[in-house]
Amino acid sequence: MKTLILIRHAKSDWGYEFLKDIDRPLNERGYRDAYSQSKWLASQPYQFQLIVSSPAIRAISTALIFARNLNYNEQDIQIKYGIYEATTDDFLNNIHSLPDAINTALFFGHNPTITNLFNLLSKDITIDNIPTCGITILKFDVNQWKKIGEVLSLKTEYKFPK
């Protein structure tokens, strides 16, 4: 069984017009949502084995907050440039490349890819838009990450802020 947790980065601050998109930080609501959402996820019965983040500051910041609340070593967060401005196929390739010894992986990324990927992999739920700091959980009855996509999720869950 593989569990894939897709999380859209928390709300970013658009108040710095001179910053590049990749450098935008979280805003106050983003920090608040990341803390509350990560506390909820920590209360769920998962063994968090891997956290992967886009290199965007807002995604890394969200991943760090989650890591702290999930008792995951922050230095073990993997930064993958291939999930920033990624297509759904690019993102799926990153999932397929995970070691099969890992059973539960969290990915912090961006829309529209997070929403599109969730809808591609979910057998029973379609979501129009995963909001910032939205958590989606997909469970697959497979032993290899490369089978995800060929096999759709057995079960899906989600938790959105607000």
CATH code (residue 26): 3.40.50.1240
In the chain, % of residues over pLDDT 70: 100
Q: Which domain range does residue 68 map to?
A: 2-159
**Residue 5, beta-bridge partner list:** 106, 137
What pLDDT does residue 111 have? 97
Cα separation, 29 vs 56, in Å, equals 18
What pLDDT does residue 15 have? 86
Query: Could you give the C-alpha distances from 1 to 7, 36, 43, 102, 112, in angstroms and in order?
Result: 20, 27, 20, 10, 27
Round the average pLDDT of the chain to a whole number and report it.
96
What pLDDT does residue 108 have? 98
Question: pLDDT (tens digit, 0 to 9) for every residue of the chain, 162 residues total?
Answer: 999 999 999 999 988 889 999 999 999 999 999 999 999 999 999 999 999 999 999 999 999 999 999 999 999 999 999 899 999 999 999 999 999 999 999 999 999 999 999 999 998 899 999 999 999 999 999 999 999 999 999 989 999 998
pTM of this prediction?
A: 0.96
Number of domains in the chain: 1
Are 136 and 6 a contacting pair, CB within 8 Å? yes
